[in-house]
A = this chain, B = another copy of it.
Amino acid sequence: MVNYDLKSLLEELREKRPLVHNITNYVVMNFTANTLLALGASPVMAHAVDEVEEMVSLANALVINIGTLSREWIESMLKAGKRANEIGVPVVLDPVGSGATSFRTHTFRRLVNELKLSVVRGNASEILSIGSDYVGTRGVETAHGAEEALEAAKSVAKEIDSVAAITGPVDLVTDGERVVRCYNGHPLLGSVTGTGCAATAAIGAFIGIKNEPLEAAAAGLAFFGLAGELAGDRANSPGSFMISLLDALHEITPEEFQKKARLEEG
């Protein structure tokens, strides 16, 4: 087990309601905003070049997500990210679909090169697409098991100078040296669109409270995965699971989070 004080972290999140600025994809905007509201944060979605620098200045964290990417949005992501870097707002990236098309892979690389990222969260294929030993993927699906990808993940984390969070049946979070595994989760999370993106946003909420990337990434994944577990206790099909998931994000108490988070270091 890790010795994170998750109870205090969630208490502080619920009290401070960190403002999470999302530049994210069209598919998940609504679900991401509802996820952040349900767990106790304040979401704002803004993507215009005319306002992202001003908006991110108000925020406690910036979450960039490259699903439904188009060229004009990249400029906004870079502008917002650079301003966030200047003023010390942590930046979390979700490289949705990187590896599936060269446009997405190149954009992932460009964001890594031009920004200081605190956490990058994706499935194994997405995260590993940044490296030179990249293996092609199919759509946004996973081509690698998370566990086999551990050594690659550590090397990627070093390469991109960021915490890499690879989600799968077991989630891996690593800064290149330390590794935290998260065992929370539920299979039905894969049957609802945007749950990966929402988990990334949850990391944004936690890092907006405590700017410790490894801990915030582990906490975000554990919290979101725990909500999935609780939803899975109530629902067996994806529609009602999705609704129970939002309910659970709201209902988990700080004590319950501390008790039921299944994080292990090493």
CA distance in complex: A70, B26 (Å): 14
Question: Is A1 an interface residue, CB under 8 A from the partner?
Answer: no
Closest Cβ–Cβ distance, residue A55 to chain B (whole Å): 5
CA gap between A163 and B207 in the complex, in Å: 41
Residues 235-249 of chain A, each 1 if its beta carbon lies under 8 Å from chain B, else 0: 001111011111110
Q: List A residues 1-39 near B (Cβ within 8 Å).
A: 19, 25-31, 33-34, 37-38
- Tell me how far the C-beta of A71 lies from the nearest C-beta in chain B, rounded to whole angstroms: 6
A44: Cβ under 8 A from any B Cβ: yes
Bound Cα distance from A244 to B28, whole angstroms? 20
The smallest beta-carbon distance between A25 and chain B, in angstroms, is 7
User: Can you name 30 A-B residue pairings with CB atoms under 8 Å?
Assistant: A19-B141, A26-B26, A26-B29, A27-B45, A30-B31, A30-B193, A30-B194, A34-B239, A37-B192, A38-B191, A44-B100, A44-B139, A44-B140, A45-B67, A45-B68, A48-B70, A48-B71, A50-B103, A51-B102, A54-B102, A55-B100, A55-B101, A191-B250, A238-B250, A239-B242, A239-B243, A239-B244, A239-B245, A242-B243, A243-B243
